Amino acid sequence: MLSSMDLSGDAACCRALGIPFYLTKPIIPSDLWEAILAALGQAAPANRPTPLAAQRKPLGSRYGMRILVAEGNVINQLLVIHILEKRGYQVEVVSTGQAALAALARHLFDVVLMDVQKPDLYGFETTAAIRVQEREPGAHLPIMALTAHAMNGDHERWLAAGMDGYLIKTLKADELEAAIDRLLG
């Protein structure tokens, strides 16, 4: 699939339909060539470097993992969706704490990215509610705080609230992926 638009959910929808490659314009010629070869069942020559798009995809079992993004800012939502879907993650976005709790009641997720300051329930309160619900032995949903705050003591406060890590906004693709890798071990 080659598209000039990169809408939320398009890559996941294509995968569900059996379309393994979703490339967006502007396209890197080597990425297109690699996708065409793979679609034809041919391997790329060994001396060619791995295309950038293939380097970005999580390896092994991480591809297709479900991530809940609880983020109140629309621009940040779009950025996170873009970064994660390009790497093969399935993403659901909500903008409030209540909506995050409702999404968690409906679906299983591998990771939650939690905006610290959301309408209705703040990230701390939402995280506390999630932690109460997972009281059964062995249950632990990794939660990453997303915040614009970087004051001394904030990191300890997020950990004390039950979050497993944090990222400072404005998010960078490589930092986000590395943080998710740390959460998932």
Tally the domains of the chain.
2
Tokens at 56, concatenated: 């970005």
| pTM for this predicted structure | 0.65
45 and 76 in a common domain: no
32 and 66 in a common domain: no
Q: Closest by alpha carbon to 87, among 19, 142, 28, 22?
A: 22
For the segment 110-131, the average pLDDT, to the nearest whole number, is 84
Task: Please tell me the predicted confidence (pLDDT) of residue 13.
Answer: 76
118 and 73 in a common domain: yes
Task: Please tell me the predicted confidence (pLDDT) of residue 61.
Answer: 46
Tokens at 127, concatenated: 């995280």
36 and 79 in a common domain: no
- Lowest-pLDDT range of 27-36, 67-76, 82-91, 142-151: 27-36
The 10s digit of each residue's pLDDT in 39-70 is 777 765 554 443 333 333 333 446 678 999 99
For residue 154, what are the domain limits? 60-184
153 and 73 in a common domain: yes
- Lowest-pLDDT range of 34-38, 60-64, 129-133: 60-64
164 and 95 in a common domain: yes
Q: 2 has which bridge partners?
A: 23
Tokens at 177, concatenated: 């992926």
- CA R_g for the chain: 18
